[in-house]
Structure 1
Amino acid sequence: MLKRAPSLTDQVKAHIKQQILSDEFEDGRIPAETDLANQLGVSRTTIRDALSRLEIEGAIFRKQGVGTFVNKAGLRIKMRLEEIWSYEQVLEAHDYTPSTAILAVQEHPAGVDLAAELKIEPGSPLVAIHKLFLADGEPVVMTVNHIPAGIISRPYTTADLQRPIFHFLLNHCQQHLTYYLSDIVPTIATPTLATTLHLPPQSALISFEEIGYNTDNEPVVKAFSYFRDELLRLRLIRREVI
């Protein structure tokens, strides 16, 4: 499978982000756009776009008439909640060694609610993939992905299911996952979930309930994710709207 090469802006953004993480900027001040452009051999427009993305991420902030600076608080953000990350990447960003286990793969008829969300007929077959993510061997995230059986076009093995769900959708369903519509939902651990995540019964949990869409804006997966937040803290930056 061919992967699209990162754009020049993405490359510049990654380079500056690495310089920030390596503490290469004296007093946390980002050089002027012209200086960065000359240093990296790119246009000021590319630098400006890269810095704008870093500002959106919270890695830098601008002071009008003073300059651009490293945002040390923003660097504590390990993942962007509005971006699609594999949980393996999330765990690595938190300095864990990730591993996965497939708990179950079940085919079941779609109930009324799932059918409506996935725009299929009630009773249509769904494949439910139950997966556990571990951080340094300790269970931290459990996911359940419901995929319409009708879009699965290639045979698959347990090894295929170990990969991130967007890889499975692309390689075995010919569906490019482009975005999720996500709800963050507080919930109480069921006995099975508590046992799986090594939690006391009735523990409070944060969960994601998400519908994933393809390039044609069609739903292709309903996903549930359950987190042990003492091991994996979800953090974001909220800004004033001007």
Structure 2
Amino acid sequence: MARRETALQTAHGRLRQLISSEFRSGDKLPNERDLADRLEVSRATVREVLGRLAVEGVVTRTWGIGTFVHGGAERVPVSIGDVTALRDRITASGHRPTLQDAAVSRARCPADCAKVLGVEPDSLVWRVDRLFAVDGVAAAWIRDHLPLRFDGRDLDPSGLVSIDLDMFEFLASATGMPVRRAEIELAAVLADEEATTRLDVAVGHPLVTATQIGYGASGAALFHGHITVRTDVLTLKISRGGEPEPVPN
């Protein structure tokens, strides 16, 4: 296993060097067989290395079309290790967040979130769809579900169609209970037809999805959401650790 990983790392470095020295942004790379011949490795190794480079944002791969050198735009790092608004995380990175599209509606609760929110499957809940852009480029599509009422209070999330109001801010005001904890589960996926429409990518484009559940101080779930991210625009960063140690005088 260690030997195979070393071989992959070597092929990874050689292919990155080949791309940087012989190709420009937007160029189409040779097919896997030709790359395997040039690197003197198997096609399976080339395929795995190209997959890693796609996740890193070096190349983009489109099924049935080919692999292309990425356009070179800077990817924006955002932390998902806290409950800070995505808008504020993008701004903190020195970039401009906007909402390209947003809608709030009543919808039937999907089975996966009904259990989390403590409602009956297919009962009516609020659905909030938002498409965030970074510097004008579609970057993250977020679909959240939350109950119509919480702790005896009617919820009205219609203000979330504005970039000026974030889900965490809304819930703190509407329920009197700020989101204290968020659980996030990540998965790598390839863009389907709905994702291509939302995020302006080709079918098969590599994406990262995250299922997010926000909890209040009482431990009750306040919302259940799905986030789909273009990793060629945003990079998700998780930071862990305690308080910084004091610096001696």
Into which bin does the TM-score normalised by the smaller protein fall? 0.5 to 0.7
How is 1:56-95 mapped onto 2 (pairs within 5 angstroms)?
A: 78-95=77-94
Quote the residue 2:214 is aligned against.
212
Q: Contact 2:104/2:161 (CA < 8 Å) preserved in 1?
A: no
Q: Contact 2:81/2:239 (CA < 8 Å) preserved in 1?
A: no
TM-score w.r.t. structure 2 length? 0.58
Quote the residue 1:55 is aligned against.
none
User: Aligned AA for 1:164?
Assistant: D
Q: Does 1:168 align with 2:170?
A: yes
Q: Does 1:143 align with 2:145?
A: no
Which of 190, 193, 196 is the matching residue for 2:195? 193
- When residues 90 and 143 of structure 1 are mapped into structure 2, their CA distance, relative to the original with a 3 A threshold, is same
Q: Contact 1:78/1:93 (CA < 8 Å) preserved in 2?
A: no
SS of 1:116 mapped into structure 2:
helix
Quote the residue 2:181 is aligned against.
179
Q: Contact 1:160/1:168 (CA < 8 Å) preserved in 2?
A: no
- The number of residues matched between the two structures is 163
Q: How far apart, in 1, do the equivalents of 2:77 and 2:111 lie?
A: 37
Q: How far apart, in 2, do the equivalents of 1:199 and 1:160 lie?
A: 23
Gaps of at least 5 residues in structure 2 are 1-75, 242-249
- When residues 217 and 186 of structure 1 are mapped into structure 2, their CA distance, relative to the original with a 3 A threshold, is same
Q: Does 1:132 align with 2:134?
A: no
Q: How far apart, in 2, do the equivalents of 1:156 and 1:185 lie?
A: 28
User: Aligned AA for 2:195?
Assistant: L
SS of 2:133 mapped into structure 1:
strand
% same residue: 18
Q: How far apart, in 1, do the equivalents of 2:78 and 2:133 lie?
A: 17
Quote the residue 1:107 is aligned against.
106
Q: Contact 1:187/1:204 (CA < 8 Å) preserved in 2?
A: yes
Gaps of at least 5 residues in structure 1 are 1-76
- When residues 116 and 204 of structure 1 are mapped into structure 2, their CA distance, relative to the original with a 3 A threshold, is same
Q: Contact 2:97/2:132 (CA < 8 Å) preserved in 1?
A: yes
Q: Contact 2:127/2:144 (CA < 8 Å) preserved in 1?
A: yes
TM-score w.r.t. structure 1 length? 0.60
